[in-house]
Amino acid sequence: MKIAVIGTGYVGLVTAAVFAKFKNEVWAVDIDKEKIKKLLQGKAPFFEPGLEALLKKGLNSGNLHFTSLYKQAVPEAKVIFICVGTPAKENGDYDLSYVLKASEAIAKNLTEYGVVCIKSTVPPSTTKKVALVMSRFTNIAYDLASCPEFLKEGSAVKDSLHPSRVVIGASSQKAKDLLLKLHQPIPAPRVVCDIKSAQMIKYAANAFLATKISFINSIARLCDRVGADIDQVSQGLGLDPRIGDRFLNAGLGYGGSCFPKDTWALIAYAKRLGYNFKFLKEVDNVNQGQVNYFLDKVNLVFKGNVKGKTLTVLGLSFKPNTDDIRESRALAIIKKLQQMGVKVRVCDPVAVEQGKKVLKDALFFKDPYQALKGSSALLLVTEWDAFKNLNFKRIAKIMKDRIIVDGRNIYHPQALRKLGFIYMGVGRGGE
Ligand X SMILES: NC(=O)c1ccc[n+]([C@@H]2O[C@H](COP(=O)([O-])OP(=O)(O)OC[C@H]3O[C@@H](n4cnc5c(N)ncnc54)[C@H](O)[C@@H]3O)[C@@H](O)[C@H]2O)c1
| Residues tagged active-site | 258
Q: Which of 3, 4, 9, 413 binds ligand X (CB under 6 A)?
A: 9
30 binds ligand X (CB under 6 A): yes
| Residue 8 makes contact with ligand X by CB under 6 A | yes
Residues in the chain: 431
Listed residue (318, 381, 384, 319) closest to 345, CA to CA? 381
Which residue's CB is nearer to ligand X, number 176 or number 202? 202
Is 121 a binding residue for ligand X by CB under 6 A? The answer is: yes
Secondary structure class of 230 (helix, strand, coil): helix
Which positions ≥6 away from 133 have C-beta within 8 Å? 100, 103, 104, 107
- Which helix H or strand E contains 168, and what residues bound it? strand 166-170
By C-alpha distance, which of 113, 122, 294, 89 is closest to 206? Answer: 122
- How many CB atoms lie under 10 A from the CB of residue 62? 9
Return the number of the residue (7 or 427) whose C-beta is nearest ligand X: 7
- Residue 313 backbone dihedrals phi, psi, to 5 degrees: -100, 120
Of 10 and 302, the one with the shorter C-beta distance to ligand X is 10
Contact region with ligand X (CB under 6 A), list: 8-16, 51-59, 213-221, 340-348: 8-16
Site for ligand X (CB under 6 A): which residue of 21, 35, 402, 408? Answer: 35
Q: Please, which residue, 123 or 368, has the CB nearer to ligand X?
A: 123
Q: How far is the CB of 306 from ligand X (least distance, A)?
A: 34
Select the span of 30-38, 58-66, 219-227, 404-412 touching ligand X (CB under 6 A): 30-38
Q: Does 182 bind ligand X (CB under 6 A)?
A: no
In single-letter form, the type of residue at position 166 comes to V
10 counts as binding ligand X under rule CB under 6 A: yes
For ligand X (CB under 6 A), the number of binding residues is 27
Residues sharing a CB contact under 8 Å with residue 263, sequence separation 6 or more, in sequence order? 206, 207, 210, 280, 283, 284, 287
**How far out from the chain centre does Cα 329 lie?**
12
With CB under 6 A as the contact rule, which of the stretches 55-63, 77-85, 221-229, 417-425 interacts with ligand X? 77-85
- Which of 18, 79, 84, 346 is the binder for ligand X (CB under 6 A)? 84
Pick from 396, 406, 403: which is nearest to 427 by CA? 406
Yes or no: say if 387 and 407 are a contact pair by the CB < 8 Å rule.
Answer: no
Kindly state whether residue 82 participates in binding ligand X, applying the rule CB under 6 A: no
Interface pick for ligand X out of 1, 2, 25, 32 (rule CB under 6 A): 32
110: contact with ligand X by CB under 6 A: no
- Nearer Cβ to ligand X (102/267): 102
For 231-251, the DSSP string reads HHHHHHHHTSTTT-STT---S
The one-letter code for the residue type at 200 is M
Q: Which residues of this chain interact with ligand X, rule CB under 6 A?
A: 6-12, 29-32, 35, 83-86, 98, 101-102, 105, 120-121, 149, 151, 153, 257-258
